[in-house]
Structure 1
Amino acid sequence: MPEYARHAPTRSNHRRTQVPTGLAIIGALLSCVPIAHAQDNTVPTPPVAPTQEPMPSPTPAPETVTPNVPEYFRARRLSDADLKKKREGLFVTGLPDISSDPVAGTGYGVRGTIYWNGKRDDPLFAYTPYRAKLNVNAFFTSNNAQEFTLSYDAPYVNGSRWRIKVDAKIRKDPTNLYFGITEDTLNPLRLPSTPAGGPTYDKFSDFETARKTLRPGGPGEAAFVTDALSNRFEDSELMLNLKADYALGKNGRWRVLGGYEIQRLDFETFQGRDA
């Protein structure tokens, strides 16, 4: 039959390709013997670690030193944040000064500061808060109290180790109160012109009213006098203070300070003055 004839060769070929299992195992063992023998005769070569070249030691970065800056300045260098905000040249800051006091009256004045910072190309710009500073204070009150002060500061004058400070003051205050220093001050309030056994005052408001009253003057006095300023005195001050310090050591952390102050103080009452 034609269909059977087509399938017969296929089955015949399939039978020829089959190999008995026992023969296949023996052949595999024989083929492994020479290879194993060859491996046994081979001397193993130890692995060679890759050659590593020694790493060169890092070279320390050279210290950055600003030219023309003495060594005792370097420890005082400003932080980068402060240095960025620092202004160049001269500039002025100020605030008004206003106060109210029942004795001194209404006060008004100004507090200001003048800074000299120099330029950024100045070698000392990054090492000093300022090259010089001047504080100014002026204050006056409606009852004639006055104060005027100056304060000058110059660190590292001309790049040296010296720092100079100068303070000056002129002050006058006629509004100081005085009620005595003995146990008599514990007694009820009374006018200095009141004779013994005269009227006293339990309230300060009544005492103030009585003090402002005009009365006929006595021998050696004006026609009319008053005790309005009897418990007040005026003090005035003149002051000049000079100071200088010198930085010691490699980093300038130690200082020697010296100074001198001249001061004059005056105290006066209002006896005999026009009220």
Structure 2
Amino acid sequence: MFCFFFLSASLFSETNQPSKQELPSWLGEFKKLDEKELAQKKEGWYLTGLPLFGSDAVSGSGVGVLANIFYNGTRGTPSFSYTPYEHLISVSAYQTDRSSKSYFVSWDAPYFLDSPFRLKAYLGHEKSLHNLYFGKGTESLTPLSYIERNDAGGQRMRNSTFSDFEDANSFYTNRGLGKEAVSTQRFNEYGFEATYAQFALDKTIQKVFRVWGSAELTNNIIRRYDGKWTEAKDPLFETKAKVREDETLLTKDSRSGKIIGANGGYVNYLRAGIAFDTRDFEPDPDRGWLVEYNVTRAERAIGSDYSYFRHFAQVKNYWQPFPKYFEELVIAQRVALTKTDGNVPFFDYRYLFSIDGPFSGVGGQNTLRGYRTERFLGPIMGFYNVELRWRMGSFELWDSIFQISLVPFYDIANVWDKMSEIKTTGYKHSRGLGLRLVWDQSTVILMDWARSREDSLFYIDMGHTF
């Protein structure tokens, strides 16, 4: 709770507003855009509306639309040379071929009304029919295995790829004479649907420190596939037939008491954090640090069905190793660790939050790109990412500036049940190559190909991974 104290105590510490001729006291010189970027920055309102084309092995391939409405102010405003924008309103609708859906509207106002305060608000709804669940904690780290053609007499194959694992489970399994055949295609899947609303307040102190707090309300719906009819292949003749899904791992772990939350519910949060932030340009940094610690409290007193406490800490660094000779090369790194205690619904282990916004747990485009989204989850999760971002060139189109970057990357991550289990071995690794298309400085389009022992995956999304 000490973060809330610092936040409330600091709200009234800077009451004098700067004159229009002076640089505001809360803006650091390190945030000033270079001459080339400043010359390209637009004034006033402008729109970057584009169709969305997404790809993710869990959610599927999808299409949608994203509209970003920016207000940059005017060049006479003291903060114009130091901020990516004054207001950003984003509206998005997206749907995939695997029936995943996402709708949201958000508002972001850094240095609101030329003050040290930043305001953010989100309202959204998301739905996915194929979220993964391979157990909690170290159980989820078990390499994939399967029985050939799902036949009880077949050979068990270990350390398999995800595609081979899925192919084997596309066959139904016979449980014996007189017993009904069942499918295990959805044994490690569940459906998830959430509606959420969030508001955050952030204050910059002494140019480089940020204190913040937020509140969020969510309604979560879980759908399990136990007993649902599906189409599966005969292990002998490969003909398709309608069979029921067997009991899922989620139901088994819920029944045995390993997890809670199998029926969803309301989870309402209060958050607070502090950060040291010297990044020069937040949407696409060239240099600087973000060192952050925050806490999340889900509390029954504010209508939550669950009560728990989460710690989250991360460090991000952006570095130009040869700024005089090769300023277009940036080395970006991130390391993060989170620990959750209390009455935690299983689906909330996957939901991480930083001062930059929410992201998914270990696996997928946000953390460990060579493994599927949320492939691993647990009470303690840690990950490290490194990227070499090389801006290869730029071009003008439709009165806009586009920059193209080549981004090789490497990710490692792990999950644990207890802090005492953390060690330097047993990590999951992935590597890959990406492209970034930066549109008018603040809109980043991401395309990543990643590979691991388990998978080869391709992503299309908005924004840098970190």
- Normalising by structure 2, we get a TM-score of 0.34
Deviations 1:139-175 (Å, cap 9, x if unpaired)?
2112211122444221111112211122344211112
Residue 97 of structure 2 corresponds to residue 142 of structure 1: yes
Which amino acid in structure 1 is aligned with residue 26 of structure 2? Y
Q: 1:206 to 1:66 in 2, by over 3 A?
A: closer
Could you tell me how far 1:106 is from its partner in structure 2?
Answer: 3.2
Residue 235 of structure 2 corresponds to residue 235 of structure 1: no
- Give, in whole Å, the separation in 2 of the partners of 1:200 and 1:144: 33
Which amino acid in structure 2 is aligned with residue 67 of structure 1? Q
Match of 1:208 among 143, 153, 170: 170
Residue 36 of structure 2 corresponds to residue 81 of structure 1: yes
Q: 1:201 to 1:152 in 2, by over 3 A?
A: farther
Contact preservation (8 Å) 1:156, 1:163? yes
Could you tell me how far 1:110 is from its partner in structure 2?
Answer: 3.6
- Give, in whole Å, the separation in 2 of the partners of 1:130 and 1:244: 17
Could you tell me how far 1:82 is from its partner in structure 2?
Answer: 2.8
Which residue of structure 1 lines up, in the alignment, with residue 201 of structure 2? 244
- Give, in whole Å, the separation in 1 of the partners of 2:46 and 2:224: 43
Deviations 1:237-266 (Å, cap 9, x if unpaired)?
2333322222223xx333322222333333
Residue 39 of structure 2 corresponds to residue 72 of structure 1: no
Which amino acid in structure 2 is aligned with residue 248 of structure 1? I
Contact preservation (8 Å) 1:148, 1:169? yes
Tell me the number of residue pairs that the alignment of Structure 1 and Structure 2 aligns: 193
- Give, in whole Å, the separation in 2 of the partners of 1:180 and 1:156: 43
Q: 1:87 to 1:105 in 2, by over 3 A?
A: closer
Instruction: Note the 1:1-275 alignment, pairs <5 A.
Output: 67=21, 70-73=24-27, 75=29, 76-99=31-54, 104-177=59-132, 188=147, 205=167, 207-210=169-172, 227=183, 230-231=186-187, 232-249=189-206, 252-271=207-226
Question: Superposition RMSD on alpha carbons, in Å?
Answer: 4.1
Could you tell me how far 1:179 is from its partner in structure 2?
Answer: 6.8
Q: Which structure carries more strand by proportion?
A: 2
- Give, in whole Å, the separation in 2 of the partners of 1:135 and 1:273: 38
Could you tell me how far 1:138 is from its partner in structure 2?
Answer: 3.1
SS of 2:81 mapped into structure 1: coil
Q: 1:102 to 1:123 in 2, by over 3 A?
A: closer
Could you tell me how far 1:73 is from its partner in structure 2?
Answer: 4.1
Contact preservation (8 Å) 2:24, 2:78? no
Q: 1:158 to 1:233 in 2, by over 3 A?
A: same
**Which protein has the larger Cα radius of gyration, Structure 1 or Structure 2?**
1
Q: 1:172 to 1:272 in 2, by over 3 A?
A: same
Deviations 1:17-51 (Å, cap 9, x if unpaired)?
xxxxxxxxxxxxxxxxxxxxxxxxxxxxxxxxxxx
- Give, in whole Å, the separation in 2 of the partners of 1:134 and 1:102: 29
Which residue of structure 1 lines up, in the alignment, with residue 176 of structure 2? none
Which residue of structure 1 lines up, in the alignment, with residue 388 of structure 2? none
- Give, in whole Å, the separation in 2 of the partners of 1:102 and 1:72: 43
Could you tell me how far 1:99 is from its partner in structure 2?
Answer: 4.3
Contact preservation (8 Å) 1:241, 1:259? yes
- Give, in whole Å, the separation in 2 of the partners of 1:180 and 1:77: 47
Contact preservation (8 Å) 1:190, 1:201? no
Q: Which structure carries more helix by proportion?
A: 1
Contact preservation (8 Å) 2:99, 2:129? yes
User: Is 236-245 or 173-182 further displaced after alignment?
Assistant: 173-182
- Give, in whole Å, the separation in 1 of the partners of 2:132 and 2:82: 49
Which amino acid in structure 2 is aligned with residue 208 of structure 1? S
Could you tell me how far 1:234 is from its partner in structure 2?
Answer: 0.3
Q: 1:172 to 1:70 in 2, by over 3 A?
A: same
SS of 2:63 mapped into structure 1: strand
Q: 1:189 to 1:176 in 2, by over 3 A?
A: farther
Which amino acid in structure 1 is aligned with residue 194 of structure 2? E
Which amino acid in structure 1 is aligned with residue 216 of structure 2? E
Contact preservation (8 Å) 2:72, 2:80? yes
Deviations 1:195-227 (Å, cap 9, x if unpaired)?
xxx77797764642438xxxxxx9xxxxxx984
Which amino acid in structure 2 is aligned with residue 238 of structure 1? T
Which amino acid in structure 2 is aligned with residue 106 of structure 1? S
Contact preservation (8 Å) 2:171, 2:183? no
Which amino acid in structure 2 is aligned with residue 72 of structure 1? W
- Give, in whole Å, the separation in 2 of the partners of 1:179 and 1:127: 45
5+ residue gaps in structure 1?
Answer: 1-64, 212-217, 219-224
Could you tell me how far 1:77 is from its partner in structure 2?
Answer: 4.4
Q: 1:210 to 1:169 in 2, by over 3 A?
A: same
Deviations 1:62-94 (Å, cap 9, x if unpaired)?
xxx952654434735444333322111211224
- Give, in whole Å, the separation in 2 of the partners of 1:256 and 1:111: 30
Could you tell me how far 1:132 is from its partner in structure 2?
Answer: 0.7
